[in-house]
Amino acid sequence: MIHLLQTGLNTANAGSYLPVALQIVFAVGLVAFLMVVTHLLGPKRQTSDKLQTFTSGIESHGDARQPMAIKYFLTAILFVLFDVEVIFFYPYAVNFKGLGWDGFWAVLMFVGFFLCGFIYIIKKGALKWED
């Protein structure tokens, strides 16, 4: 493989993806095999004690399906969204010299879009907890 990379030959054929395909087939097969084996070998006794809700010794009261403020979920989703966007800065930080000015302008444009989205969220009041 190293020899092929050094000589600069074009290895973009179907055979070069064989190791990846084998790994995917092996992973899916292993998961399927383990699920079938655990289903066949696992215990199957369902008693009334096993079917009861586990409450760690504390008596349950009320309904678990109580309404909750949507602000919590909105804040959590926005956190995940902006947290994932920050991940895209790492490749630029690692290779900023190699990307040159083109990379700089691309990252600047990305930050601009990032800030436009953040300003939109602030203007809509998505992060205000008081009504």
pLDDT at 60: 67
pLDDT tens across 94-117, in order? 888 888 899 899 989 998 998 998
Q: Is the pTM of this model over 0.75?
A: no
Instruction: Tell me whether residue 112 is in a domain.
Output: yes
pLDDT at 6: 58
Domains: count for the chain: 1
What distance in Å separates the CA atoms of residue 122 and residue 80, rounded to the nearest whole number?
Answer: 16
Listed in sequence order, the DSSP H helices in 1-125 are 2-7, 18-41, 48-51, 70-87, 89-94, 96-124
Domain of 98, in residue numbers: 2-57+68-124
Say which DSSP state 94 is in: H
pLDDT band at 44 (very low <50, low <70, confident <90, very high): confident
Yes or no: say if 108 and 116 are a contact pair by the CB < 8 Å rule. Answer: no
Is 55's pLDDT higher than 70? no
pLDDT tens across 57-91, in order? 777 677 777 777 778 888 888 888 888 888 888 88
Residue 33 is part of a domain; what is its CATH number?
1.20.58
